[in-house]
């Protein structure tokens, strides 16, 4: 099952940087809502979201086995997320949110630093957005850190990049030949080290009847 990686956060929170510097995410096709704003100057928020969903749907139709990256605000509980989740359901993909966060003034300064790449109008829209966004959007979100990805395909479902399963003892990512979903589906348990293996064996021997 391919994954739709949604990189979210306010303007200037470091979404593009994260993607470009990530050795695996950077190799996937990416659709960035900022490109839509560039291509259609003056386009409204609703129309831009609609375009992004169109691009995603077209990709899912054309490349049903490929994972893909989207960059947008992706505020929790809002329409952008719902749109992606609906398409993921329809096309049998999974969704991973990666939330980028930085303090408000850092976001503000980054947008100013990049302003020569953008029209004045876009820069102003970004700054307005940063000024008006609620405080909670400038904090990281639990469970939405970048996933630990492995540069091979899951032996069961064939996904690349392969999202690492977790150690059943300590929760650390494990170098396995299976992705986290397939490991869960088959109830395959992994341990990350000899110490964790010993601990899990001890539990099997003495614990929990």
Contact call for residue 166 and Zn ion (CB under 5 A): no
**CB 53 within 8 Å of CB 83:** yes
Q: Could you tell me how many residues make up the chain?
A: 209
**CB 70 within 8 Å of CB 2:** no
Binding residues with Zn ion: total (CB under 5 A)? 10
Neighbours of 199 (CB within 10 A): 15
- C-alpha separations of 52 from 32, 141, 174 in Å: 8, 23, 34
Residues 119-158 that bind Zn ion (CB under 5 A): 154, 156-157
Q: How far is the CB of 91 from Zn ion (least distance, A)?
A: 17
DSSP code for 181:
H
- Cβ closest to Zn ion, residue 9 vs residue 165: 165
Contact window for Zn ion (CB under 5 A) among 46-54, 71-79, 144-152, 176-184: 176-184
Applying CB under 5 A, which of residues 8, 167, 176, 190 lies at the interface with Zn ion? 167
- Cβ closest to Zn ion, residue 107 vs residue 162: 162
Chain contacts with Zn ion (rule: CB under 5 A): 154, 156-157, 167, 169-170, 179, 182, 192, 196
């Amino acid at each position: 099952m391919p994954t739709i990686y949604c990189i979210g956060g306010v303007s200037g929170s470091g979404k593009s940087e994260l993607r470009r510097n990530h050795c695996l995410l950077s190799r996937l096709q990416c659709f960035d809502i900022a490109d839509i704003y560039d291509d259609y100057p003056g386009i409204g928020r609703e129309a831009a979201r609609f375009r992004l969903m169109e691009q995603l749907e077209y990709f899912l139709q054309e490349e049903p086995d490929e994972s893909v990256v989207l960059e947008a605000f992706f505020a929790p509980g809002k329409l952008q997320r719902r749109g992606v989740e609906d398409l993921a359901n329809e096309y049998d993909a999974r969704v991973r949110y990666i939330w980028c966060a930085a303090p408000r003034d850092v976001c503000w300064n980054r947008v100013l630093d990049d302003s020569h790449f953008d029209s004045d109008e876009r820069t102003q829209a970004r700054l307005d957005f940063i000024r008006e966004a609620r405080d909670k959007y400038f904090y990281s979100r639990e469970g939405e850190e970048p996933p630990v990805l492995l540069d091979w395909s899951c032996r069961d479902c064939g996904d690349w990049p392969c999202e690492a399963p977790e150690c059943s003892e300590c929760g650390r990512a494990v170098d396995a030949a299976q992705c986290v979903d397939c490991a869960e589906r088959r109830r395959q348990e992994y341990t990350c080290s000899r110490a964790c293996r010993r601990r899990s064996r001890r539990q099997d021997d003495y614990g929990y009847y």
